[in-house]
Amino acid sequence: MDPPPSNSIAARKDQHLDIVLQGLGRQDEVTTGFEKIRFAHCALPELALDEIDLSCTFLNKKLAAPLLISSMTGGPSRAERINTHLAEAAQMLGIAFAVGSQRIAIESAGDAGFGRRLRQLAPTIPIYANFGAVQLAHGFGDKEARAVIDMIEADALYLHLNSLQEALQPEGDRDWRGILEAIAKLARTLPVPIIAKEIGCGISGAIARRLVEAGVAAIDVAGAGGTSWALVESERALSERDRAVARSFASWGIPTADAIRDVRAHCIETPLIGSGGIKDGITAAKAIRLGADLAGIAAGTLEPALVSAEAVADHLNGVIDQLRIACFCTGSRDLAALRNAALL
């Protein structure tokens, strides 16, 4: 079989995956902001570590821990392997799982690695479908949204907001007029909740409020400080000028910690996911303390996902252990207590 043309969606997804795996999307100019947050250590927790309750409910679904395996993808061959391992690991751990963009499955024959088998592998955990919100301005609507939901029997639909990435891609969608109205229209017809998500530049409280008023059920801030998609796109640039333009936005965005605080202040009751540079259970604990209901982890699970479900589960069990110990050392017997843990 001939390789896909370099401008095809499949080729682009594989290029993205390779660049992230090589660490070329990692930037040092901006941080998540979590390094400024320090818990006050509780020297006398008066708790049993094993009795700490990390369970929670998110969008009416019970989870064993407040974690989400966040959206990742690749070309069809790798997407199937990655999604299989991630779905199996999420089921093992009782946590949520969001697939990468399913646009490729809608626009090509076959399921592109997003088949109903994912639900068979993960029958009891929340699975979230996904495509780019900008596609709502380019022909996607209720029919396509229902198709990606039915494809994996999803519990919710992620609409990702990636305006900077689209502006920097040689094949990017640059017309974003009417997107909010299209989201509102879709929210009125879909049988599952919509989650709005950035992909590394963060969502402000003001924008989150507008999304919620349009009918979005939950917000994933996906702030700055993790993978920089500006740097990823700089590696794909077709000219030195385009590469320089992309690299100039490497530090662009709202740091994750700031985005969580701002969105929670504007959307007091809205289910909130903190993602973007969440690298371990301590960072996840800080995200929850600042107002997130779940912590989303993406890049850290990518390499294990290429190996096996057990490798993913082993990595995330370490994250859960860290989160549990953070609760223990702040005297927090559950997540409600963690949200009120003392900070320095």
**DSSP of 44-83:** ---S-GGG-B--EEETTEEESSSEEE-----SHHHHHHHH
Whether 87 maps to a domain, the answer reads yes
Report the alpha-carbon distance of residue 98 to residue 187 in Å, rounded.
Answer: 18
Report the alpha-carbon distance of residue 141 to residue 104 in Å, rounded.
Answer: 15
Give the tokens for residue 316.
Answer: 């995330």
Torsion over CA: 74, 79, 85, 86 (sign): positive
Whether 58 maps to a domain, the answer reads no
Number of folded domains in the chain?
1
Counting residues of the chain whose pLDDT is more than 90, the rounded percentage is: 76
Q: What is the pLDDT of residue 3?
A: 34
Q: What is the pLDDT of residue 113?
A: 60
pLDDT tens, position by position, 134-154? 999 989 999 999 999 999 999
Whether 342 maps to a domain, the answer reads no
Determine phi and psi for 131, rounding to 5 degrees: -155, 170
Whether 209 maps to a domain, the answer reads yes
Helices 179-189 + 205-213 axis angle, to 10: 40
Q: What is the pLDDT of residue 2?
A: 33
Report the alpha-carbon distance of residue 342 to residue 45 in Å, rounded.
Answer: 12
pLDDT tens, position by position, 199-258? 999 999 999 999 999 999 999 999 999 888 899 999 888 899 999 999 999 999 999 999
Closest-CA residue to 110 (of 75, 146, 159, 154): 75
Q: What is the pTM of this model?
A: 0.92
Give the tokens for residue 45.
Answer: 């927790």
Range of the domain at 178: 9-39+66-322
pLDDT under 50 in the chain at which residues? 1-7, 74-75
Whether 220 maps to a domain, the answer reads yes
C-alpha angle 119-154-316 in degrees, rounded to nearest 5: 65
Whether 305 maps to a domain, the answer reads yes
Q: What is the pLDDT of residue 51?
A: 97
Q: What is the pLDDT of residue 1?
A: 28
Whether 110 maps to a domain, the answer reads yes
Q: What is the pLDDT of residue 116?
A: 86
Whether 344 maps to a domain, the answer reads no
Using an 8 Å Cβ cutoff, are 197 and 234 in contact? no
Residue 254 sits in a domain of what CATH number? 3.20.20.70
C-alpha angle 49-280-246 in degrees, rounded to nearest 5: 165
